Amino acid sequence: METVLQIKNLTKRYGRLTAVNKLNLEIQKGCVFGILGPNGSGKTTTLGILLDVINKTDGDFSWFGQPATKEMRKRVGAILETPIFYPYLSAVKNLEIVAAIKGAPVANIEPVLKKVELYERRFDKFRTYSLGMKQRLSIASALLCDPEVMILDEPTNGLDPQGIAEIRRLIKEIAADGKTIILASHLLDEVQKVCTHFCILKKEI
Ligand SMILES: Nc1ncnc2c1ncn2[C@@H]1O[C@H](COP(=O)(O)OP(=O)(O)OP(=O)(O)O)[C@@H](O)[C@H]1O
Ligand SMILES: [Mg+2]
């Protein structure tokens, strides 16, 4: 067993409000780990801290058994909220821009578009995509660096049943490729359907 992520007593306070209260968690390589909890239970805050976009108040975490560094972060892909793509550019153009920013190989664009089943539509403008397609492009964008870990925050929010089924199938496929997945969701059903392990966050009263 290889520990990908260890969280110890992680705490985040916003003034008097405690968003995350002494969270302890260990996630092993290869699992699909669900963070289940109602609205406001601190899922997005936790993921934001793990990705260094939110400052923690207290506690600690380590990726791959080491303190967080920029290099380490390259091994973790994420979709926290729908990223902004250029509406008048195609999927290919948008991913070329992402690749340039992240320093990912341009050669990865074609395989990731195939993986998320957008290859046929790759030259269409982003603004013409359905919500499900936009979400799949975000996943493609997170896969560009070929990360070992994928973080997905509510990946099926707002999608219709077919879109939800497509994203869930894609998550399982990505897991089958050997990536560790950390997925936040408020849907018990979603966590039951795609996760191998899970934890439950509850809201402070
Ligand atoms: N920037 C902020 N300033 C103040 N309070 C915040 C801030 N961000 C989040 N919070 C609060 O922290 C708590 C946890 O919010 P968070 O977004 O992490 O929950 P969540 O589990 O992701 O919820 P959801 O299911 O609605 O996405 C909430 O009470 C929220 O109001
Ligand atoms: Mg959230």
- Inside any domain, residue 2: no
Phi, psi of 118 (to 5 degrees): -115, 5
Ligand 1: centre distance to CA 91 (Å): 31
pLDDT of residue 137: 95
pLDDT band at residue 73, thresholds of 50, 70 and 90?
confident
Ligand nearest to the CA of 41: 1
- Inside any domain, residue 115: yes
- Inside any domain, residue 19: no
Ligand 1, atom 31, residue with closest C-alpha: 40
Q: What is the mean pLDDT of residues 177-187?
A: 96
- Residue 168 belongs to domain with CATH number: 3.40.50.300
- Inside any domain, residue 17: no
Does the beta carbon of 39 lie inside 6 Å of ligand 1? yes
Q: What is the mean pLDDT of residues 181-187?
A: 96
- Inside any domain, residue 138: yes
Does the beta carbon of 18 lie inside 6 Å of ligand 1? no
Does the beta carbon of 138 lie inside 6 Å of ligand 1? no
What is the best residue among 41, 191, 199, 202 to mutate for testing ligand 1's pocket, by most ligand atoms within 8 Å of CB? Answer: 41
Q: What is the mean pLDDT of residues 185-196?
A: 95
Total domain count for the chain?
1
- Inside any domain, residue 92: yes
Q: How far is CA 197 from CA 42, 98, 146, 162, in A?
A: 18, 31, 23, 24
- Inside any domain, residue 18: no
Ligand 2: centre distance to CA 153 (Å): 7
pTM of the model: 0.93
Residue 181 exposed, middle or buried by CB count within 10 Å (0-12, 13-18, 19+) = buried
pLDDT of residue 205: 63
Ligand 1: centre distance to CA 131 (Å): 24
Please count the residues of the chain: 205
Q: Which domain holds residue 49?
A: 31-54+65-200
Task: Catalogue the E-assigned strands of 130-191.
Answer: 149-153, 180-185
108-126 per-position pLDDT tens digit: 999 999 999 999 999 999 9
Work out the widest C-alpha separation in the chain, in whole angstroms. Answer: 50
Ligand 1, atom 18, residue with closest C-alpha: 42
Q: Quick check: 175 pLDDT over 90?
A: yes
Q: Quick check: 71 pLDDT over 80?
A: no
Ligand 1, atom 24, residue with closest C-alpha: 39
Q: Quick check: 82 pLDDT over 70?
A: no
Q: What is the mean pLDDT of residues 91-107?
A: 94
Least confident of 24-28, 50-54, 63-67, 165-169: 63-67
Tell me the average pLDDT of the chain. Answer: 93
- Inside any domain, residue 23: no
